[in-house]
Structure 1
Amino acid sequence: MGPSEEDQIFEYLNLLVSRPEVRRALGENARRYVERECNWDLVATRYADFLKALHEGRPWPEPRPDAAPAIDGAMPESGRAHEQAIAPFGIEPPVPARAPEPEPEAVIEPEYIAGWAENPESRTYIETHTTRLVRTLEITPRGTALDRVLEMGAYLQITPALKTKLGYGEVRGCYYGEPGRVDRRSIVSADGETFECEIDHFNAEKDSFPYPDGHFATVLCCELIEHLFEDPMHLMSEINRILKPGGHLVLTTPNVISNRAISAILQGYHPGFFHAYIRPPKPGKEVEARHNREYSPREVHRLLENSGFVVALLETGEFRDEPHPEHGWVYHLLDRYSLSTDLRGDGIYAVGEKTGGVRERYPGWLYT
C-alpha cells in the first residue's frame, strides 16, 4: 500500500470497527492460518528442506501457503478498486460473501408516540423531539417475550413501544431518586391502550443498580449521560454488569461538534446545547438537570469501547427533522478546508454490543 493510500487503511479499519461479524471472521481465519502454517511439524520440515537445498547448492522453492477461506463480510467499496493493485504482489484480495440480512427496523409512527403524552408539556416535548424519539426506537434491537429491557430516565413517552412495537416481555424504567423507591406507573394512550411499568429510583453515578448481573437484553440510556456530574463510567460499568453477554446498549446524547455548535463558536457563542444554570424550581416542581458535559461522536465511540462494548452503530441526526438553511455556510466551510462533514447532526445515536467486562474504569481522555 502506497504512502498516499491511507484512505484504504481507514476503510479497512472502519470495516473492522463497524462490522463485528467481519472482525470475528477475520480473527477465526487468522487462527486457522496459524494452526495450518505455523505448527511445529510443518515449520521444522520446511527448515530441514531449506537447509538440505542450501547444502546441495540448489534453489529452494518457498512453499506457498494454502489459500485462506474468504471473510464472511463485504469488502469496503473503495477497496474493490485496489484489488488489481495488490494482486501482482501475490496477495489474494478478500472474496466478498453475501452478508446476512440485517434485522428490519421497527416501523414507528410519530402519532403513536404522541398518543402517550400525559399532559400539554409532554405533548410539546414530544413534538420538539419527534425525530429523535422515533429514531431511538428504530435503532433499538427487537426483543422477545423472554427478553427484558430497561429504559433509564424513563418519561413513559417511548417506553410503551418497547413492549407493543419491539416485543419485549418485560419493560422496566428507572429515574434519579432515593434508592429503594419504586413507582408503579400506569398510563392510557389516546387510543385507550393501557401500559403499566415499574420505575426504580437511584443515583446512576453512585449507587449499585438494583438488578442482578446479566438481567437485561437491552438498556436504553437516552439523553442522560450529558447530565452526569462526576462519574459517567460508574453508570457505564453498571450498565455493562446488568446486561447479558451480547446484550445491547442504546445511547443517545447531544453532539458537541454539530453544525449548530460550530456555527455558535464561530459567531462568538457557547457551543453547548443546554449549558445554562437552572433557576430554583417552583414549589412542587422538579429541578431540571443542566448539561454538565456534552460529547462528540468519537468520544461516544471511545466511551463504549472503554466500557466493554463493540460499536454496532454510530450516527448523528436531528431532534426534529426540519430544514436548517442557516447552517449551510458551516458545511461549505468544512468542505472548503477538507474537514469532515460527517457526524454533524444535533444528536448522537449509538448502539453498543456487550463483548466483555469494562476495559478501563477511568479512561485518561475522560478523567484527570
Structure 2
Amino acid sequence: MTPPFHSRISGLAARTLQRLRSAVSGRLIDPRNYQPPLPLPGGLSRAQIHDALTAVSIDGSASGELFGYASSDLDRFLYTLAMVPEGAVGKALEIGANPYFNTLLLRQFRPELELTLVNYFGPGSAQGKQTVSFPGFKGVADAVTFQYDNVNIESAALPYPDDSFDYVVFCEVLEHMTHDPLRSMLELKRVLKQGGTMILTTPNAARLENISAFLEGRNMYDPFSAYGPYGRHNREYTRHELHMLMTHCGFEVEASFTGNVHPDIPLGQADASTLNRLIGQVRHREHDLGQYLFTRWANARVASEKLPNWLYRSYPAERMAEGQ
C-alpha cells in the first residue's frame, strides 16, 4: 500500500480547529498537524525500530554519534521508507547510504528490491565495503557487509549504464552539493529508467524554526563541519524550489509533504500569536513549515540541461535556461 501523503494529511475541520486554538492560546502553529501519521512497518512498534537502529555499529565501532542521529531522526527514516511502495520490485540505487539506516529498513521491509549503494568518502578507492551489525528488528542479531561505489555525483559519472534502476533513493544529500546540483540530478536521471521512481528528501529551508530564527535575529545557516564541505548543508531548498528543480529535470510529482521529525527549536523573543498571524497572511503556508521535504517523483519527460537562473548565476548566457 502506498499512502497518499500529498492528499490525506488531515481533515479540514481539524486544521481549522487547530488554527483557532493556536490563535486563542498563543501557541505556535505545529507543523505536525499538517503531516501524515507516522507509518510503522511490519507490525513493529516505534520503540522496537528505535532500539534496533540506535544500536547500529559500523565495522565494529561504538554507536556514540550514530545513536544520537538514529534517535533524533528516526521518524524521518520511517517516513522515507513509506515513500517506497510496499511490494516494490526491481533494482534500487541509494545515494549516500552510510550510515545505512535507510538501507537496513529497505532490506528488511522492501525485500524484493535489489540494492546498489553509493557513498562518497573523498578521493581514493572506487569501491569499498562496510560491515553493519545491530540487534535486528525482531530481536535476532544481524550483521551484513554492504558493498558500495565511492562516487562524487557532482563531478563524476556513476559506473552504471543508462536506465539501470527502477528506483533511486536520494535522501539528505541534495543539500550537501557544493556547486552543481543540476549535474547530480541529471546523472541520477540518466541511470533511472523511464517511468522509474525517485524518492527525494531534503531539509526544508522555509521550515518554521528558520522563520522564527530570522524574526528573532538568529542565523539559520549550517555551521562549518569537521567533515569538510560535504559535512555541512551548503544549499537548502524550499518546497517550491524543489518542485521547480525536479520539473526542470523532467520529473512529475507523485507525493509531497513537509514534516517534523523532532521538536522545533523553541521561540526566544518572538511572540507566537504574532508569528501565527504573519504566517496566516500567505494562503496554505501552514502546510509548508515542516523541517523536511518528503517527495516521490516519476521520471516522466526529457530534462532541460540548461541552468535555471533562480539557482545559478555568473554563467555564460548560452548555458542559462530562458524564462526561469
* 2: CA distance, partners of 1:143 / 1:366: 36
- Check the 8 A contact 1:129/1:319 in 2, yes or no: yes
Q: Deviations over 1:265-285 (max 9, x none)?
A: 11111233xx22234x6xxxx
Q: Tell me the residue number matched to 1:277.
A: 224
* 1: CA distance, partners of 2:112 / 2:50: 17
Amino acid at match of 2:164: H
Alignment partner of 1:115: what SS? Answer: helix
* 2: CA distance, partners of 1:313 / 1:324: 27
* Larger mean Cα displacement after TM superposition, 193-202 or 236-245: 193-202
Query: Pick from 290, 306, 316: which aligns with 2:248?
Result: 306
* 1: CA distance, partners of 2:124 / 2:297: 27
Q: Tell me the residue number matched to 2:166.
A: 217
Q: Tell me the residue number matched to 2:202.
A: 253
* 1: CA distance, partners of 2:154 / 2:264: 37
> How is 1:1-368 mapped onto 2 (pairs within 5 angstroms)?
107=41, 109-110=45-46, 111-112=48-49, 114-116=51-53, 117-118=56-57, 119-142=63-86, 144=88, 147-154=90-97, 155-176=99-120, 177-178=122-123, 181-190=126-135, 191-272=140-221, 275-279=222-226, 289-320=231-262, 322=263, 326=267, 328-329=272-273, 330-335=275-280, 340-368=285-313
CA change 1:196–1:171 in 2 (3 A) is: farther
Q: Deviations over 1:319-368 (max 9, x none)?
A: 32x47774944334312576722211011111111012322431122112
* Larger mean Cα displacement after TM superposition, 196-205 or 181-190: 181-190
- The TM-score, its normalising length taken from structure 2, stands at 0.72
- Check the 8 A contact 1:141/1:248 in 2, yes or no: no
Amino acid at match of 2:77: L
Q: Deviations over 1:79-114 (max 9, x none)?
A: xxxxxxxxxxxxxxxxxxxxxxxxxx7726543364
Higher RCO, Cα 8 Å, sep 6+: 2
Aligned CA-pair RMSD: 2.6
- Check the 8 A contact 1:183/1:200 in 2, yes or no: yes
CA change 1:277–1:169 in 2 (3 A) is: closer
CA change 1:308–1:175 in 2 (3 A) is: same
Q: Which runs of 5+ in 2 are unaligned?
A: 1-5, 13-38, 58-62, 314-324
* 1: CA distance, partners of 2:40 / 2:191: 25
Amino acid at match of 2:94: E
Q: How many angstroms does 1:207 deviate by?
A: 0.4
Identity %: 27
- Check the 8 A contact 1:215/1:243 in 2, yes or no: yes
CA change 1:179–1:234 in 2 (3 A) is: farther
* 1: CA distance, partners of 2:311 / 2:113: 36
* Larger mean Cα displacement after TM superposition, 168-177 or 203-212: 168-177
- The TM-score, its normalising length taken from structure 1, stands at 0.64
Alignment partner of 2:149: what SS? Answer: strand
- Check the 8 A contact 1:246/1:355 in 2, yes or no: yes
* 2: CA distance, partners of 1:217 / 1:337: 38
Q: How many angstroms does 1:316 deviate by?
A: 0.4
CA change 1:238–1:168 in 2 (3 A) is: farther
CA change 1:335–1:278 in 2 (3 A) is: same
Specify the structure having the higher radius of gyration (Cα): 1
Q: How many angstroms does 1:204 deviate by?
A: 1.0
Structure having the larger proportion of residues in strand: 2
- Check the 8 A contact 2:198/2:296 in 1, yes or no: yes
Q: How many angstroms does 1:236 deviate by?
A: 0.3
Q: How many residues align?
A: 258
* 2: CA distance, partners of 1:149 / 1:106: 21
Q: How many angstroms does 1:199 deviate by?
A: 1.1
Q: How many angstroms does 1:312 deviate by?
A: 0.9
Q: Tell me the residue number matched to 2:60.
A: none
Q: How many angstroms does 1:264 deviate by?
A: 0.5
Amino acid at match of 2:177: L
Q: How many angstroms does 1:169 deviate by?
A: 3.4
- Check the 8 A contact 1:180/1:202 in 2, yes or no: no
Alignment partner of 1:183: what SS? Answer: strand
4+ residue runs of structure 1 moved beyond 6 angstroms?
none
